[in-house]
Structure 1
Amino acid sequence: MLAFNFLSTSGVPFPKSNHKYPINASLSDPNLCNRAHNQRTLHCPPLLFHKSTSQFAESGLKPSNNAFFLGSSSKPTSQISHSTPNLNQICGNPYGFVSKSNKQILRAASGTPQEAYPDGEIESSKSNKTLQLAVVFGLWYFQNIVFNIYNKKVLNIFPFPWLLASFQLFVGSVWMFFLWSFKLQPCPKISKPFIFALLGPALFHTIGHISACVSFSKVAVSFTHVIKSSEPVFSVIFSSFLGDTYPLKVWLSILPIVMGCSLAAITEVSFNFQGLWGALISNVGFVLRNIYSKKSLQSFKEVNGLNLYGWISIISLLYLFPVAVFVEGSQWVAGYHKALETIEIPSTFYLWVIISGVFYHLYNQSSYQALDDISPLTFSVGNTMKRVVVIVSTILVFRNPVRPLNALGSAIAVLGTFLYSQVTSKKIAKKNEGEKEN
């Protein structure tokens, strides 16, 4: 409205060659327009000035010292009126587009009521995003539970974690090749620098995966996950050695993790040193994978998380399988026949192995999809709750005996992990805000 008042009171004249009357005179006295029209010296269509100011902006009109011009044209208004007989096209903005936000601001300034559909679209978009996120979280939890259950079932009758871990990486590799071949997932450009940058993270991923599988084969799944909840402790320690600094809150948050894991380990019914060390080494492997990935993959940010994980799985398979053959290859045939005798139905054993491989990849895929759509804080909280759900689910399925002190230690460790995720995520958020301001 300020712009319209300025135009209607300024009295900016047209060029003298067109007419001697100013714009505000033509607006206040319609007879002037009629006389000008009869003399063929001035064309003053009512649509041009009786519309709201939003249509001034949308039509491309802009003020000059002497007159209004269309776009970058230097023609006087009388010539524009003859060359553009349909002014509705001008107001409809045939020469470009104005952003929605600008249109809404102009409509609000002119008093024109805004359309109701943008708010409805925003609410619908938020609702769809929330529903999509809930589905991703549900799939992530469900797939992780299924993997842990069938992974343990296979290891109970076929205790060869090196072969099973290799098969799970093989299934993930085949799955990614399927997605890339049918263009269900865009395939990243492969180059020597990209492959070399992946060698380190893939190596540490291999160490973390095989160590976890060894732990699963020796102790209860719940105990392995309790020990794996101590991963933040190793993250803080290794990052500190590499020069990162952490506030006192972070160091205090890892104390309950250490205390809880120690209490759970002392009171664990199925305690086994190989299982304990496997879980601890798994933490070290995954922490080093995360730290090394930040340094070696900085120049490949265009590769999304799913493609990155796919190539890490492929390289990890190349690392792991030759070592698996060397470590336990001579025992596979005898172990296979013993497993078939134990289960009696071969197809059941095959189904369990396939399910463990498929769901191992699927739950990792869902975690990367969740991480792409949510903040690190929400992801950390979700990951902590996922660990609780997996621990409870496996205890119910396998009916593992749990002592009260063991349950207390597990709860303290998980609570410490939750506190750590809260503190570190807030630190990351503040750091990102500072970088944006700079």
Structure 2
Amino acid sequence: MTPKALLVLGLWYFFSFVTLFLNKYILTTLKAEAVFFATVQMLITTFMGWVNIHFPMGMYKPIKREGSAKPPNFYRNMLVVGSTRFLVVFLGLLALKYVAVSFTETIKSSAPIFTVFISRLLLGEKNGIFVQMSLLPIMSGLALCSAYELGFHIYGFLAALGTNVSECLQFVFSKLCISSDKNKTTPAEFQFYTCLASLFLQAPVCIVLMDWSAAATTSNHLLLLMMINGLSYHFQTMMAWVLMSFVSPVTHSVCNTVKRAILIWLSVLVFGNPITFLSGLGTCIVTLGVFSYNKAREYEQKKRDLMVKYGTGNGASSQL
């Protein structure tokens, strides 16, 4: 990695830590109204995305286009990713309301399982035997962790699982939009337009589900913390988009796995979440399984590259 990529990686880890623990503190300790909290978070992120379009702050290089032309299927892609962003934020906060941070992050660590199936369905991407075998420890570790989690709650588990699927869908579309020449989009454009689409979808949810009386009595102190959280979430996601332009998907996946592992154990230390031996063992198995998955993906990618180089494969790839 280049020094700039390492800086972006460090900032991504830092803002992920701040956002996650502010989420938990605001929801469980300060008892914030969850839908209102999600709306404030997305409003701040949308505004900051607009700011970064006009002021990149050294995070990316603006793309020169003729007139106001956008890449092919730009608004469709923004709507798709915006829909997944809405689900990631809403279900993520719902999960934290019911279960521990460490358990939520363990569920999210199983992302490779869903990435394999989503990539197959949407992109037609096939995986070899090594990748498929690496999914076994992830699934078994996740089952072990869930079965022996002291604070297990079915709503929290389903919300965390839904967050995971939504995040995987978001990753598949995001990588293609940011990295491919055909659909090239800047991180700031991605941030602003997907958040705008997310807010559009969030509006009816606010009207129906928000506890308006609780939202109206939100203190200035709590509102300030929500705004700080929104800023942190903005920079967390911006750093993730920027990192995608520096590294390969495999490297990005490894970095994300390391981040999950760090957040799991930091949450245990900070919040003092009680865990059983088998639950902790399940977390370790999931983490090791994800590392095995990444290594298997790397091996199979090298194998495909060699086949293309020596004319024994077609090397075709799918695009949006």
TM-score (norm 1): 0.62
Distance 1:141 1:301 in 2: 27
> Is 1:148 matched up with 2:20?
yes
Superposed, 1:11-22 pairs within 5 Å as none
Query: Per-residue CA shift, 1:370-413, capped at 9, x if unaligned?
Result: 22222333222211111111111222221111211111111111
The match for 1:321 is 203
Query: Per-residue CA shift, 1:179-220, capped at 9, x if unaligned?
Result: 223465637746594213322222123223321121111111
What is the Cα deviation at residue 254 of structure 1? 0.8
CA distance 1:230–1:372, change in 2 (3 Å): same
Residue identity opposite 1:397 in structure 2: V
Report which stretch shifted further, 276-285 or 371-380.
371-380
Superposed, 1:107-126 pairs within 5 Å as none
The match for 2:115 is 235
Q: Are the aligned partners of 2:141 and 2:281 in contact in 1 as well (CA < 8 Å)? A: yes
> Is 1:203 matched up with 2:64?
no
CA distance 1:235–1:362, change in 2 (3 Å): same
Select 2:45's aligned residue among 172, 191, 196. Answer: 172
What is the Cα deviation at residue 255 of structure 1? 0.8
> Is 1:383 matched up with 2:264?
no
> Is 1:271 matched up with 2:126?
no
Select 1:259's aligned residue among 140, 162, 168. Answer: 140
TM-score (norm 2): 0.83
For structure 1, which runs of at least 5 residues remain unmatched after alignment?
Answer: 1-128, 341-345
CA distance 1:159–1:277, change in 2 (3 Å): farther
Distance 1:375 1:194 in 2: 23
Bigger relative contact order (CA 8 A; separation at least 6): 2
The match for 1:162 is 35
The match for 1:364 is 237
Question: How many positions carry a matched residue from both structures?
Answer: 301
CA distance 1:334–1:205, change in 2 (3 Å): closer
Distance 1:320 1:435 in 2: 45
The match for 1:225 is 105
CA distance 1:179–1:237, change in 2 (3 Å): closer
Distance 1:238 1:214 in 2: 23
Distance 2:301 2:195 in 1: 28
What is the Cα deviation at residue 260 of structure 1? 0.9
Identity of aligned residues (%): 29
Distance 1:255 1:173 in 2: 39
Q: Are the aligned partners of 1:133 and 1:370 in contact in 2 as well (CA < 8 Å)? A: yes
Residue identity opposite 2:205 in structure 1: V
Select 1:137's aligned residue among 9, 27, 31. Answer: 9
The match for 1:395 is 268
CA distance 1:161–1:432, change in 2 (3 Å): farther
Report which stretch shifted further, 218-227 or 364-373.
364-373
Distance 1:227 1:296 in 2: 26
Residue identity opposite 2:225 in structure 1: W
What is the Cα deviation at residue 362 of structure 1? 0.7
- Quote the RMSD (CA, aligned, Å): 2.7
What is the Cα deviation at residue 134 of structure 1? 2.6
Select 1:245's aligned residue among 118, 126, 131. Answer: 126
Bigger radius of gyration: 1
